[in-house]
Structure 1
């Protein structure tokens, strides 16, 4: 094994967009739709300042809210955490195959994690309290050593975090929702400064809570990358079918009690809400994995026949962090009390439609960047901070 270089750049260029596998990018692009609709639905809920109160103004609102609980909420983040673990494992496999030492690769991963935490902190400070980027940065910093762990040790860590983390997360979120948030109740008096201070104060709490439930899918993603499940899905069709056929129905059934609480059919006391919330988190893992497997199967069917829709979705996945941040810009402009304040005037179903429209706008923008040969600004920034200035070669130089 050759001696590792002294900087990140020599011999460490990331994979170019043209060489990326379709399934991970397609999955990221589609799941950004799930996240956008969940966030828009959530802002509609928060606009009342009443904890778990949804509009529920008619049958359509009730059906949409139940659907979101069963198929969307807490189903997107587990898949993104798994894809993050998948990506870090790919970095390890590629760099060690190139002759870099394990210590050097861990340093590369942790450098990436530090910059993700910087981006996540700024995202929270300036835009949105529910940041996930900083969570992935913290996981990269703390759990980089697991990338070299045996499968048994890797998954043992994951299941341990799943058992404890899901309990603590469900308890904390149930307590917050059941008691209401006095800060939400005074939302009409929010100013940009007070909102920023509230987001800054909530960041450490949200960082810990989201990390608790993200380590398990991260470890599963590392495990999947070692088997190239998404890079070579045609070799794992039986496994992917089982995961999709089991995971998605389990997520729907596991989300049903939470849906019944949300539509006010089941009591919202702490005990039943906690049980429903815990089951909701656990079944969310199955849903995230099931969606990833289903999209991998779709990628196999697509093969090399990539029409404009598939190319646009893949372009969105390749620029997922940029599109995620752009969604937060949209929430600030559309929903906050000191901007357009649309959340108070929307029904639950209309809020979900607004979320889908925001996602569609980011898809169009990502495809325009693809046609222009441009990376997403956030991805380009992180790439440069992780790997250094790009090499001026025919393969790596940006157009």
Structure 2
């Protein structure tokens, strides 16, 4: 892309920077699942359950849990429209290429879930991407109505379950024992870690019953935003962005307090409120960031963040690899030994390393390493990796 098209560069940089922020938020949420085996069993690690530890977990639950992946999912849907437009301009058949891309993403997701992190979202994205592909010609209004119905439907089902007295943690003592076993497994070598990931996969399928439809809903919101070119003209859409903030912050933060105080994802009542309000808070976050990116200081921040967003798939997988090396017995073996506040500091340090590495990589290459491999599979040829000189 040439410097002679500043408007186009600015748009792409803003989206990439927003994607980079989503990566940080996802890491801050996911790092707890590497740091302790208790998290997957929806109970706190008894070795780190002081008021300070509880406060850190509460803040993460309230402000980031269920919001981070929705923001990332929104951007997946938005990028889908950019790929559609690119294929139309080049006169290529989009559907078979996108299906190959999804197949590659699914394989990466399965490998990620088994080898690095059983909480993988890529395989789910690949399956939901088929639905998005089938809806690629629907009107914006239809996409928005479907997104709202999906979110409302999941909220309604969860509310019914909560009223019916369904418990997500039926035996707290057994959950604590399972958490101890999982933590010990993470402290072992690579065979022990992989075995633990495989054991947890069936439970993750249950989690996706809620997470999947919400991700698809966010896809559709992103699709609608892309069709309306919402992120193309931030200044021209400032009124809509302000409305997202005015609605999203009071309702979203109120829901976040109920969600976190009610037990977060471990309690159906809190989870119901979270499902219904998290999209509003995620939208408010996105609107605030996009407005900030238009300022002089924001442009400087965008320049730092955008390279990480351009290779977001590589960074997402890289986060898991680094967390495995830090927390499991494959590396430093810190699982179960680090308090939540220190875990967050480790996450920020990992992200800082990724920002620096992304800047260095993207100065030399057109794609991140995993993005390049996925593109090669999608296009059935080896694309040029090294960056060309800008004109």
- TM-score of the pair, normalised by structure 2: 0.83
Q: Please list the CA deviations of residues 275-321 of structure 1 after superposition, one character each: whole Å capped at 9, or x if unmatched.
A: 11111122211122222222211222249x844x5323100111111
Partner of 2:19: 28
Q: CA deviation at 1:179?
A: 4.1
| Residue pair 1:38, 1:73 contacting (<8 A) in 2 also | yes
Partner of 1:238: 239
SS in 2 for 1:92: helix
Partner of 2:188: none
| Residue pair 1:86, 1:225 contacting (<8 A) in 2 also | yes
Superposition map of 1:107-186 within 5 A: 107-166=96-155, 175-177=167-169, 179=171, 181=175, 183-186=178-181
Q: Residues 49 and 289 (structure 1 numbering): CA distance in 2 closer, same or farther, change over 3 Å? A: closer
Q: Residues 256 and 94 (structure 1 numbering): CA distance in 2 closer, same or farther, change over 3 Å? A: same
Q: CA deviation at 1:249?
A: 3.6
Q: CA deviation at 1:144?
A: 0.7
Of 57, 66, 74 in structure 1, the residue corresponding to residue 50 of structure 2 is 57
**Mean Cα displacement is larger for which, 346-355 or 114-123?**
346-355
Q: Please list the CA deviations of residues 180-208 of structure 1 after superposition, one character each: whole Å capped at 9, or x if unmatched.
A: 54643412542134224324545544555
Mapped partners of 1:169, 1:364: distance in 2: 42
Q: Which runs of 5+ in 2 are unaligned?
A: 1-7, 186-191
Kindly report the root-mean-square deviation, in angstroms, between the aligned alpha carbons of the 2 structures. Answer: 3.0
Q: Residues 306 and 120 (structure 1 numbering): CA distance in 2 closer, same or farther, change over 3 Å? A: same
Q: Which runs of 5+ in 1 are unaligned?
A: 1-16
Mapped partners of 1:379, 1:48: distance in 2: 30
| Residue pair 1:165, 1:212 contacting (<8 A) in 2 also | yes
Of 274, 297, 300 in structure 1, the residue corresponding to residue 294 of structure 2 is 300
Mapped partners of 1:385, 1:106: distance in 2: 14
Mapped partners of 1:164, 1:274: distance in 2: 15
Q: Residues 105 and 338 (structure 1 numbering): CA distance in 2 closer, same or farther, change over 3 Å? A: closer
Partner of 2:261: 260
Q: CA deviation at 1:224?
A: 0.2
Mapped partners of 2:247, 2:222: distance in 1: 18
Aligned residues: 366
Q: Please list the CA deviations of residues 93-117 of structure 1 after superposition, one character each: whole Å capped at 9, or x if unmatched.
A: 23224445xxx32222222211111
| Residue pair 2:14, 2:302 contacting (<8 A) in 1 also | no
Mapped partners of 1:204, 1:296: distance in 2: 34
Of 365, 375, 378 in structure 1, the residue corresponding to residue 367 of structure 2 is 375
Mapped partners of 2:333, 2:304: distance in 1: 30
- TM-score of the pair, normalised by structure 1: 0.81
| Residue pair 2:31, 2:343 contacting (<8 A) in 1 also | yes
